[in-house]
Amino acid sequence: MAASTPVKESRRQFLATLSKVAGVAGGACLFSLGLGLYARQASALPAQALRPPGALVEDAFLAACLRCGLCVHGCPYDMLKLASPGTPVATGTPYFTARDKPCEMCEDIPCVAACPSGALDRSLKDIGKARMGLAALVDQENCLNFLGLRCDVCYRVCPVIDKAITLENLHNPRSDRHALLLPTVHSEHCTGCGKCERACVLPEAAIKIYPIKLAKGSLPDHYRKSWEEKAAHGGSLIGEQIQLPVRGMEGTPPAPAQPTLDSTWKP
Amino acid sequence: MEKASAAPGNTTDAVVPAPTFFARLRWGKWLLLRRMSQAGILGLFLLGPWFGIWIVTGNLSSSMTLGVLPLTDPLLIMQSWAAGYMPYQDALIGVAIVVAFYLLVGGRVFCSWVCPVNPITDAAAALRRKLGIKGGRAPAASTRYWLLGSLLVTAFVTGNMVWEFVNPVSMLHRGLIFGMGFGWLVVLGIFLYDLLVASRGWCGHLCPMGATYALLNRTAVPRVSAAKRAACDDCMDCFTVCPEPQVIRPALKGDGSPLIKDPECTNCGRCIEVCALDVFRFTTRFSASTHRRTTS
Ligand code: SF4
Ligand code: SF4
Ligand code: SF4
Ligand code: SF4
């Protein structure tokens, strides 16, 4: 009987401590949970914010980047920024906006060399293999070349000219005697440096860089391109085709060939 | 504070009056050295972006000095690990150097000598004293450890360094170098929290960065000792200025060693300079003597 009071007392004390600890721990966990949810939402990278060359895929990048800015200080062109709170990019992570200042594609890639964590992957040795994004000529209504003019600026500034971006020579049906030279981006070579977007002469660029997964579609796996298959096999896979006569037109001489645009022309 | 106001004007006393409490508060040697250390380190980081003199690049999260000395913050690496990533050697060497340094001088030396938030929370504490704001609701001091643990778990679950979205310490330092944005609001929030809600609330109860450095604070060689504790006249000045007042009592009032070995002590040296009776001094953790006798 006599011992029951101190036991009760210590149990009460123990329970009080327990509930206090539980309160603190619960509060901390709840806060972290909220933070986790917030971080998820705040990690969405806007389409116009591009990561530096060699950046790991976004999820891995957010786990790897130390938010230190060594890449920013390493860039001799001062075109990378560290996201400050309020910018819609994960706080403290590096990004650039092509229209403001594009990447100059330094041969020695100093930004990657400066990164201590590997968020910028040092296996990138050739800046031509960087894939910061992919250029897309999004506004075909306003691109001057699509209108039939010869602007070509995006094409001319491209550091990977004639590979990443070409001018495709098409007949202009509007005048019927001119060409349309359509700037066309090739994902195989475009580094996403952003020089074309930066240089586009329109008040709002008609060509823009987007993250590759936004800019690029994909074919179903089973699709094959006949011309590629043909080239690979040195001939048609299904043998010679029978030429069927066009019914009712037998005996009509073939129409004279239309004069075509000079397709060997180079700007 | 009573005796402080009584000291001047006492012309009959042959002894030079001790500087008043508030005079010491402002001009203490250690405080001055700490402010110089904080400003100096920040200055080194700003020399590059402001004047093009690149001695140090990066920020406290990870930096490179003169192209040879990498330094990386342990909490950043812990978050990266928790999020499932193994950083390059550069970052790991950087964190090894930082951990070794702080194991030697005391982890929370970061808090009082390096961290850019410290002048802000110190200012809040000083203003709190000046305005006589008492009370408030401080969370348990263990909150920071729970916070540290739970945000590492959250990093593990989400694969993202969640704390870095709000971490005021890295946000302030990064902001000063790379642009603050709305980061000022977070800093203001901490100031107001410490001023109005909880005395020493941020650094003493919440900051997980401080908690991380406290984990490295168990082997520090330099330690404050209440060497002349016999002379203590219970004026409480040291308790008033100490950012972690609970660490003083065992050394000052206990029977054991007068060394302040509590891992929350930030080695700031404020107690040394505010004590009118010179009870405290810096010594090493190996100094065994209790210095009970007072010398004059
Ligand atoms: S490649 Fe050069 S210009 Fe481009 S981000 Fe890196 S350092 Fe800057
Ligand atoms: S250098 Fe690397 S770790 Fe540092 S901010 Fe840039 S990408 Fe992140
Ligand atoms: S982003 Fe534009 S300029 Fe840069 S490689 Fe691609 S097409 Fe060329
Ligand atoms: S507790 Fe945190 S904010 Fe305070 S000084 Fe230490 S690291 Fe800085």
Give the pLDDT confidence score for residue B296 in this predicted structure.
Answer: 39
pLDDT of A185 higher than 60 = yes
Cβ neighbours around A105 below 10 Å, total: 18
Tell whether A253 is covered by a domain. no
Distance between CA atoms of residues A4 and A154, nearest Å = 88
Q: What is this model's ipTM?
A: 0.85
CA B120 to chain A, closest CA, distance in angstroms equals 19
**pLDDT for res B2:** 39
pTM of the predicted model, to two decimals? 0.83
Identify which of B264, B258, B263 has the alpha carbon closest to the alpha carbon of residue B224. Answer: B258
What is the per-residue pLDDT for A235? 81
pLDDT tier, A258 (very low <50, low <70, confident <90, very high otherwise): low
- What torsion, rounded to 10 degrees, do the Cα atoms B132, B138, B142, B145 define? -100
pLDDT of res. A52: 96
Based on the fold, state whether residues A124 and A143 are members of the same structural domain.
no
The predicted structure's pLDDT at residue A32: 80
| Ligand 4 environment, Cβ below 6 A | B 111, 115, 117-118, 121, 169, 202-203, 207, 209-210
Distance A15 CA to ligand 2 centre (A): 47
Edge-to-edge strand list for the sheet holding B69-72:
B56-59, B62-65, B69-72
> Is residue A240 in a domain?
no
Q: Which residues of B touch A76 (CB under 8 A)?
A: none
Mean pLDDT of B209-219: 93
Q: Are A110 and A159 in the same domain? A: no
**pLDDT interval class at A261 (50, 70, 90):** low
Residues A138, A206, single domain; the answer is: yes
Q: What is the mean pLDDT of chain B?
A: 86
Query: Which tokens belong to A52?
Result: 């530096």
Please check the confidence at residue B10 and state whether its pLDDT lies above 60.
no
Residue A93 within any structural domain of the chain: yes
The whole domain housing A159 covers 133-214
Average pLDDT over chain A, rounded to an integer: 87
Tell me the pLDDT tens digit for each residue of A150-167: 999 999 999 999 999 999
The verdict on A49 and A125 lying in the same domain is yes
CA dist B188 and B205 (Å) reads 17
Residues B167, A85 contacting (CB under 8 angstroms): no
Q: Which pair of tokens denotes residue B75?
A: 């909490």
* Residues in Cβ contact with A106 at an 8 Å cutoff, skipping those fewer than 6 apart: A75, A76, A77, A127
For residue A29, is it within any domain? no
Both tokens assigned to B144: 């920071």
* Residue B291: pLDDT band with limits 50, 70, 90: very low
Chosen domain end from A99, A114, A129: A129
- Confidence label for A17 from pLDDT (cuts 50, 70 and 90): confident
**Quick check: A28 contacting B, CB < 8 Å?**
yes
Half-sphere CA count of A34, side-chain side, radius 13 A? 8
How large is the average pLDDT for residues A230-253?
77
* Structure confidence at residue B295 as a pLDDT band (50, 70, 90): very low
pLDDT at B139 over 70: yes
Q: Which residues are CB-neighbours of B30 under 8 A, at least 6 positions away?
A: B268, B269, B270, B272, B273
For ligand 3, whether the C-beta of A153 sits within 6 Å is no
CB A207 within 8 A of CB A143: yes
Cα separation, B264 vs B248, in Å, equals 10
The answer to whether the Cβ–Cβ distance between B151 and A85 falls below 8 Å is no
On whether both A148 and A196 belong to a single domain, the answer is: yes
- Domain boundary among the residues A129, A147, A182 is at A129
Task: Give me the phi and psi of A82, to 5 degrees please.
Answer: -100, 130
DSSP at B44: H
Beta-carbon contacts of A98 under 8 Å, excluding residues fewer than 6 positions away, are A48, A50, A133, A193, A194, A195, A197, A198, A208, A209
The answer as to whether A83 is a domain residue is yes
Cα B151-B201-B164 angle, rounded to 5 deg: 30
Count other C-beta atoms under 10 Å from residue A248's C-beta.
6
The CATH number of the domain holding residue A150 is 3.30.70
Name the DSSP class of A188.
T
Chain A residues with CB inside 8 Å of B84's CB? 63
Burial (0-12, 13-18, 19+ Cβ within 10 Å), B155? buried
Asked whether residue A20 is domain-assigned, the answer is no
Among A70, A104, A129, identify where a domain stops.
A129
Among A86-90, B65-69, B258-262, B289-293, the minimum mean pLDDT is found in B289-293
Domains of chain B: 29-215 (no CATH), 221-291 (3.30.70.20)
Report if residue A107 sits inside a domain.
yes
Q: Are residues A195 and A153 in the same domain?
A: yes
**Ordered DSSP codes for A137-185:** E--TTT-TTTTT----HHHHH-TTBTTTEEEEEEEETTTSSEEEEEEEE
Q: Are residues A46 and A96 in the same domain?
A: yes
A110 occurs within a structural domain: yes
Residues in chain A with CB shorter than 8 Å from the CB of B71 are none
pLDDT for residue A55: 95
A214 token code pair: 């936004």
Give chain A's domain count: 2
Cβ separation B140–A114 shorter than 8 A: no
**Is pLDDT above 50 for B8?**
no
Instruction: State the Cα–Cα distance between residues A69 and A109, nearest whole angstrom.
Output: 15
Residue of B161, B176, B177 for testing the chain A interface, max A β-carbons within 10 Å:
B161
Q: What is the DSSP letter of B84?
A: T
